[in-house]
Structure 1
Amino acid sequence: MSSIPFYAKKFVSGINIEEAFAVVERLNDKKICVTLDLLGENISEKQQAIKFVDEYDILLKKISEKKLDCYVSIKLTMLGLDIDFDFCYNNLSQIMRIADHYNIRVALDMEGSDYTERTIVIYERAAKEFKNIEIVLQAYLVRTEDDVKRILAANGRVRLCKGAYKEPPEKAIKKMSQIVENYKKLIQKLLLEGQRICIASHDDDIIDFCIEFIEKNNIPKDRYEFQMLYGMREKTWSRIREKGHNMTIYVPYGDQWQAYYARRLAERKENVFFVLKNLFKS
């Protein structure tokens, strides 16, 4: 398909780098940072992974050339995590060498719980070699409190989100009120002890809590940022930025948009209502 249909265009910036960069430049004009996500995951052939590595290499170089306020997010299954651990790490290392050369951040997106441990192990190893690596943790997983300690012991650079994958009750907190409370508990420790903390949430309760905590504890602005998904609550982005806080928008692009769009609705049924609600919420 050569273009994004109207119903997905709100959430996916485009098919190619040029379309994605047009969105990045518009957001940069509003003093908003972007993390770009080239769509793709769970590949089964090494050549597919190598192709993604090449695309990320080009992406990083073009971000540097255009001097954009932008970094990138990557899923390790698109680099071959399902194929071979060392193959995946070598692919990530190639990307990280270029990212460090241009001083561009790279965030390891967190996938389902079957990948959590392997993703953290790769992050811990990469954090010893590369300066610009960071990772995503999910507040609804039971294990995340222990994982926070591991990230703080590595380089303390993390994005905390609630979590969206469908998980069994022995692995994940199910009640939203309890997820929110766990998020608040974890984010306090991260903001006090972390090096760069990304507060990824559309929840007003969490956003207000974090702003109050940041101001009360005089957390330096270069140690945190708020994050939201492209297409969600644009007026809220602007309000947070106008209050003097760093704001980053997660912007996906690529020809595999359909899988991304469908999965985001299907991962948890709550997401369907969340997306519909946020179509009309600012």
Structure 2
Amino acid sequence: MGSIPFYAKRFVSGSNFEEAFSVVEKLNDKKICVTLDVLGENIKDKPQALKFVEEYDLLLKRIAEKPRDCYVSIKLTMLGLDIDHEFCYENLSRILSIADEKKIRVALDMEGTDYTERTIAMYERAAKEFTSPEIVLQAYLLRTEEDINRIIAANGKIRLCKGAYKEPQEKALQKMPLIVENYKKLIQKLLLNGKRVCIASHDDEIIEFCINFIENNNIPKDRYEFQMLYGMREKTWSRIREKGHNMTIYVPYGEDWQAYYTRRLAERKENVFFVLKNLFRS
């Protein structure tokens, strides 16, 4: 596919890990952590899945060569979840083995609700064998409060986001004010009981709520971090970091940039509003 077109470069750091590492170093210089995501999902054949396993193998080793404030995020459908459960787990185990050895965190990204239960089950299994895995849950799903109990019982390492996929009303809250209120409810439980909590939000109301809750409850700084997407609200990243809070930026790279870029803009109508609004906010 070649290089990333100019209109996508705001959100995608590059087509290869050399370009991504350039972004990592610039953010690290600002005392900001990075989670790198190799773009790709819904892989249907084993050779292609194994190619992505090799990519993460190389990525983890490169991160460890020159210690960086950086970890990785992975979608399980990239590793073959659509092909075979055990094949996917073998691939995940290979990545987590290297991550444990190198002491690098690995976040299992959450996809649509067709994958929610399978992703959580695989995470629970992996958490019994490895120390590196974390998982992402989505605040708009009706099942998430109960899922949080499962994560806390496993290893308590979790990223909470609002949710980016279009889901039916029997599975997910549809109105943004209700999603925000549910996020606040869930994040309180996580901050008090989770082992490592990633507050993934660009919403000012949520950010301020969390900062106040953290300060009022003396939550230790090594128990949480704020997270935002690459290309969104850079001045806000800096302000949060300057206040003394841990800040991580989700930085995607890879040739399969179109699916990510399209979903950011088109999966839900709320995403279009979200992107347009945040392009003009600092």
TM range (shorter): over 0.9
3-state DSSP of counterpart to 1:171: coil
Offset, 1:266: 1.4
Name the structure 2 match of 1:27: 27
Aligned partners of 1:157 and 1:138: how far apart in 2?
Answer: 14
3-state DSSP of counterpart to 2:2: coil
Aligned partners of 2:273 and 2:140: how far apart in 1?
Answer: 19
Offset, 1:195: 0.4
Name the structure 1 match of 2:140: 140
Name the structure 2 match of 1:229: 229
Deviations 1:195-241 (A, max 9, x none): 00000000000000000000000000000000000000000000000
What letter matches 1:39 in structure 2?
Answer: L
Offset, 1:4: 1.1
Offset, 1:127: 0.3
Q: How does 1:133-282 map to 2 (within 5 A)?
A: 133-282=133-282
3-state DSSP of counterpart to 1:226: strand
Aligned partners of 1:101 and 1:39: how far apart in 2?
Answer: 24
What letter matches 2:134 in structure 1?
Answer: E
Offset, 1:260: 1.0
Q: TM-score, normalised by structure 2?
A: 0.99
What letter matches 1:28 in structure 2?
Answer: N
What letter matches 2:257 in structure 1?
Answer: W
Q: How does 1:54-203 map to 2 (within 5 A)?
A: 54-203=54-203
Aligned partners of 2:270 and 2:139: how far apart in 1?
Answer: 16
- Report percent identity of matched pairs: 80
Name the structure 1 match of 2:3: 3
3-state DSSP of counterpart to 1:71: strand
Aligned partners of 1:99 and 1:76: how far apart in 2?
Answer: 16
Offset, 1:264: 1.6
Aligned partners of 1:237 and 1:27: how far apart in 2?
Answer: 10
3-state DSSP of counterpart to 1:113: coil
Residue-pair matches, total: 282
Deviations 1:180-207 (A, max 9, x none): 0000000000000000000000000000
Aligned partners of 1:28 and 1:260: how far apart in 2?
Answer: 24
Runs of 4+ in 1 over 3 A off after TM superposition: none
Aligned partners of 1:248 and 1:18: how far apart in 2?
Answer: 19
Offset, 1:259: 1.5
Aligned partners of 1:46 and 1:20: how far apart in 2?
Answer: 26
- Which is further off, 54-63 or 255-264? 255-264
Aligned partners of 1:141 and 1:120: how far apart in 2?
Answer: 14
Deviations 1:11-57 (A, max 9, x none): 00000000000000000000000000000000000011111000000
Q: TM-score, normalised by structure 1?
A: 0.99
Task: Please provide the CA RMSD for this pair.
Answer: 0.5
Deviations 1:36-81 (A, max 9, x none): 0000000000011111000000000000002111000000000000
Offset, 1:279: 1.3
Contact 2:264/2:275, CA 8 A, preserved across alignment: no
Aligned partners of 1:5 and 1:272: how far apart in 2?
Answer: 19
3-state DSSP of counterpart to 2:108: strand
Aligned partners of 2:66 and 2:33: how far apart in 1?
Answer: 14
What letter matches 1:182 in structure 2?
Answer: N
3-state DSSP of counterpart to 1:166: coil
What letter matches 2:196 in structure 1?
Answer: R
Aligned partners of 1:141 and 1:22: how far apart in 2?
Answer: 36
Aligned partners of 1:181 and 1:224: how far apart in 2?
Answer: 20
What letter matches 1:208 in structure 2?
Answer: E
Aligned partners of 1:279 and 1:138: how far apart in 2?
Answer: 23
Q: Structure 2 unaligned segments of length 5 or more: list them.
A: none
